[in-house]
Amino acid sequence: MRRLPSFGFSHRSLMWWSTVCLMLIEGTVFAIGAMMYFYLRSLTAIWPLNAVPPALVWGSVNTAVLLVSMWPNQLAKRAAEREDRVGARLWLSVCLAFAGVFLVLRGFEFAALNVSWNTNAYGSVVWLLLGLHTTHLITDTVDTAVLGVLLFTGPFEGKRLVDVSENALYWYFVVLSWLPVYAVIYLAPRL
């Protein structure tokens, strides 16, 4: 019995199942937000309502940053699954830097939406979608920072490596959920 591991990765971890269920719930919320956008759009002949579609530059730059950020997350995940604490610390720190850059750029995105949240229905739903995704970014950034501190300072347990692996899984969700949100916010108003 002493040789049995006290933790497991992927589907052998309760945290993995919890994260997958959370992603299903949150994915449903994103889908509802997108449906709200298209429902409101279907009620009017002119869309966006009295607003210019947001410029593509900040959303596109952020999309590129997010897509590139999947690489260090994958490396952190692999290091954790090899039980390489030094590698996990290094790549988790790189992940945190990417998240910080993305959050700064997200501020520019909000400023370039060309509509306020309280201007009209278009503004409200666009701010809702961008705000919802930003909430996920902030949540995962804080989680990544806490994991980084634990990996550097301790207490260190094997299950912390599972947390790094599941953190990468959630980051993939944040990145992949951004792609349809980007399409709704930046491309749909131009159709």
For residue 137, what is the domain's CATH number? 1.20.120.80
Distance from C-alpha of 100 to C-alpha of 81, rounded to nearest angstrom? 25
Residue 117, domain member (yes or no): yes
With respect to residue 2, please indicate whether it lies within any of the assigned structural domains.
no
Q: Is residue 4 part of a domain?
A: no
The answer as to whether 131 is a domain residue is: yes
In a domain, 34, yes or no: yes
Q: Is residue 160 part of a domain?
A: yes
1 lies in a domain?
no
Mapping DSSP onto H, E and C, the string for the chain reads CCCCCCCCCHHHCHHHHHHHHHHHHHHHHHHHHHHHHHHHHHCCCCCCCCCCCCCHHHHHHHHHHHHHHHHHHHHHHHHHHCCCHHHHHHHHHHHHHHHHHHHHHHHHHHHCCCCCCCCCHHHHHHHHHHHHHHHHHHHHHHHHHHHHHHHHHCCCCHHHHHHHHHHHHHHHHHHHHHHHHHHHHHHHHHC
Interacting residues of 103 by C-beta distance below 8 A, sequence separation 6+: 134, 137, 138, 141
What are the Cα distances from residue 9, in Å, to 19, 72, 92?
A: 12, 18, 17
Per-residue confidence in pLDDT tens, the chain, 191 aa: 555 455 555 665 667 788 889 999 999 999 999 999 999 999 998 888 888 999 999 999 999 999 999 999 999 999 988 888 899 999 999 999 999 999 999 999 999 999 999 989 999 999 999 999 999 999 999 999 998 998 888 776 666 777 888 889 999 999 999 999 999 999 999 98
Structural domain count of the chain: 1
Residue 22's domain comprises 10-190
Closest CA to 9 of 84, 82, 86, 70: 82
* Residue 107 is assigned to a structural domain of this protein: yes
What predicted TM-score, i.e. pTM, was given to this entire model? 0.87
